[in-house]
């Protein structure tokens, strides 16, 4: 018995058409097909696996680092307040499992405790460098294993450093310049003017200008929001002009008119944290969590980690080219390294 012919149609045939051509069976197309589904597969897999993001908060005690983290993620991260009685700078590492609209985020916040509280502040940045390098080394050692397990591996490399600047209104402190100069090749730095509600609007603009000039004159590289993607080029370019961000963190709600907003009540009025005319909190949140999260992670791997990895391999004795300036295979490079160690 011969099969009836099949026609492919994207429209549902009417009863009249069926009666007219009852010997033709038409099928309607359901959903998408082809490689255009690849992005959907990636999204679904990423959502199932969840995301991770690691933030380093550097700044003196009392600048509101913990409060800003609570405000950014709209949750109480339950971090105990730090005192000023620390003989050395310590790093407090806390990891949280957050969930928003079925999207899971493994957030690690590394906070500096006692930073800038010592009489001799020259060594304050060294524990920070030690921690950044230790995370690179852990990832490097995982790469060197014969049987690697990156699927289950928790990548603890820092993706962004939020550097909190004291709202003096004058200039950067010597400790700020020393620390920033020593970590700018190891982590993406976003400078923040902390507790911006203590400075007038005009003074903030002047302070921003002074800070950027000092960073440039001292050769300090901070993270620049990328402008190579057409979809985000315009907004990122505009945000680069606002650096450093002047931020205020607050979880308390106050009444403004008929609505409740997060902000601080003063005799002269209410400072609204999520009002762009009052501070740069919204700009920081959008740039950090909505627009450039993946770029921060990519920059961490392709620039900062690759720099560390290259240095480690060169220190061991590996090279990409031989004496004749020709490419060298891994096996050849390993043989040269073994011969060199025998001579020693």
pLDDT of residue 6: 44
Is 13 part of any domain?
no
Can you tell me the distance from the alpha carbon of 163 to that of 88, in angstroms, rounded to the nearest whole number?
Answer: 19
Whether the Cβ atoms of residue 195 and residue 64 lie closer than 8 Å to each other? yes
Can you tell me the distance from the alpha carbon of 41 to that of 47, in angstroms, rounded to the nearest whole number?
Answer: 10
Average pLDDT across each block of 10 residues of the chain; the chain has 344 residues. List them in order: 47 55 60 70 79 95 92 79 67 92 91 83 88 96 84 90 94 94 97 93 93 96 94 93 94 87 87 91 94 95 96 81 68 64 59
pLDDT of residue 330: 64
Q: What is the CATH number of the domain that holds 81?
A: 3.40.50.300
Exposure string over 278-301, b if 16+ CB within 10 A, otherwise e? bbbbbbbbebbeebbbebbbebbe
In terms of Cα–Cα distance, which of 301, 322, 21 is closest to 143? 301
pLDDT of residue 8: 46
Is 19 part of any domain?
no
Is 144 part of any domain?
yes
Whether the Cβ atoms of residue 77 and residue 109 lie closer than 8 Å to each other? yes
Query: Can you read off the two tokens belonging to residue 251?
Result: 């979880």
Is 40 part of any domain?
no
Structural domain containing residue 230: 45-316
β pairing state of 25-28 and 6-9 = parallel
Cα maximum dimension of the chain:
96
Q: Residue 56 forms beta bridges with which residues?
A: 110, 161
Is 119 part of any domain?
yes
Tokens 């005009």 identify what position? 202
Whether the Cβ atoms of residue 111 and residue 65 lie closer than 8 Å to each other? yes
Can you tell me the distance from the alpha carbon of 15 to that of 24, in angstroms, rounded to the nearest whole number?
Answer: 13
Is 150 part of any domain?
yes
Query: Can you read off the two tokens belonging to residue 48?
Result: 């199932």
Is 227 part of any domain?
yes
Number of compact structural domains in the chain: 1
Can you tell me the distance from the alpha carbon of 36 to that of 23, in angstroms, rounded to the nearest whole number?
Answer: 34
pLDDT of residue 204: 94
Can you tell me the distance from the alpha carbon of 187 to that of 299, in angstroms, rounded to the nearest whole number?
Answer: 9
Whether the Cβ atoms of residue 148 and residue 154 lie closer than 8 Å to each other? no
β pairing state of 90-100 and 103-113 = antiparallel
Is 114 part of any domain?
yes
């Amino acid at each position: 018995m011969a099969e009836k012919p099949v026609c492919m149609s994207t429209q549902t045939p009417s009863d009249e058409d069926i009666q007219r051509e009852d010997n033709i069976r038409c099928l309607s197309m359901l959903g998408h097909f082809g490689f255009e589904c690849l992005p959907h597969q990636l999204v679904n897999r990423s959502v199932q696996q969840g995301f991770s993001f690691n933030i380093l908060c550097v700044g003196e005690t009392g600048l509101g680092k913990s409060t800003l983290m609570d405000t950014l993620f709209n949750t109480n991260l339950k971090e105990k307040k730090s005192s000023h009685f620390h003989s050395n700078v310590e790093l407090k590492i806390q990891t949280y499992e957050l969930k928003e609209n079925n999207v899971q985020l493994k957030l690690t916040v590394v906070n500096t405790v006692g930073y800038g509280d010592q009489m001799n502040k020259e060594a304050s940045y060294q524990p920070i460098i030690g921690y950044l390098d230790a995370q690179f080394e852990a990832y490097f050692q995982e790469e060197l294993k014969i049987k690697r397990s990156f699927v289950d591996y928790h990548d603890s490399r820092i993706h962004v450093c939020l550097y909190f600047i004291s709202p003096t209104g004058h200039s950067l402190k010597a400790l700020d310049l020393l620390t920033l100069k020593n970590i700018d090749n190891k982590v993406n730095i976003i400078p923040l003017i902390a507790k911006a509600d203590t400075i007038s609007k005009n003074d903030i603009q002047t302070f921003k200008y002074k800070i950027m000039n000092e960073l440039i004159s001292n050769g300090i590289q901070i993270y620049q929001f990328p402008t190579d993607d057409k979809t985000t080029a315009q907004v990122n370019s505009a945000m680069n002009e606002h650096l450093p961000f002047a931020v205020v963190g607050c979880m308390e709600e106050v009444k403004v008119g008929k609505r409740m907003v997060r902000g601080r009540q003063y005799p002269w009025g209410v400072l609204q944290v999520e009002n762009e005319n009052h501070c740069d909190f919204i700009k920081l949140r959008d740039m950090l969590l909505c627009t450039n999260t993946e770029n921060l992670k990519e920059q961490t791997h392709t620039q900062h980690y690759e720099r560390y990895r290259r240095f480690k391999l060169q220190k061991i004795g590996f090279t990409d080219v031989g004496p004749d300036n020709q490419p060298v295979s891994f096996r050849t490079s390993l043989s040269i390294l073994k011969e060199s160690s025998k001579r020693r």
